[in-house]
């Protein structure tokens, strides 16, 4: 069920684990901070499991630090 209702969260987890080396949630939080977006490790965890929504500016920052497109984070095919 999570995958159907929480595309961004599923994609964030997928992208961070595909990076070499894979990023932890804490690593991702640090990289987001470096570009001016504050989401702590717990917030990233909540996004990934669908308990927290992601704002538009956060989606842009996540795409940047995860090296993926905004379209891909929003569910576009590979």
Give per-residue pLDDT as tens, 28-76. 999 999 999 999 999 999 999 999 999 999 999 999 999 999 999 999 8
pLDDT-derived band at 1 (thresholds 50, 70, 90) equals very low
Residue range(s) defining the domain that contains residue 21: 2-68
**Number of domains, the chain:** 1
Token readout for 14 is 């997928």
Diameter of the chain by CA atoms? 33
Domain presence at residue 75: no
**77's tokens:** 């095919």
76 located within any domain: no
Within a domain: 78? no
27 in any annotated domain: yes
Place of tokens 């538009």: 56
Q: In the predicted model, is pLDDT for residue 2 greater than 60?
A: no
Q: What pLDDT, on the 0 to 100 scale, is given for residue 4?
A: 57
Residue 64 lies in a domain: yes
CATH code: domain of residue 23: 1.10.260
At residue 6, the pLDDT reads 82
**pLDDT-based confidence at residue 3 (cuts at 50, 70, 90):** very low
């Amino acid at each position: 069920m999570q995958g159907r209702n929480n595309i961004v969260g599923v994609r964030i987890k997928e992208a961070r684990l595909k990076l070499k080396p894979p990023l932890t949630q804490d690593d991702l939080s640090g990289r987001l901070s470096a570009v001016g977006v504050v989401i702590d490790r717990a917030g990233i965890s909540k996004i990934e499991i669908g308990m927290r929504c992601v704002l538009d500016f956060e989606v842009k920052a996540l795409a940047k630090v995860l090296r993926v497109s905004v379209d891909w984070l929003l569910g576009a095919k590979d």
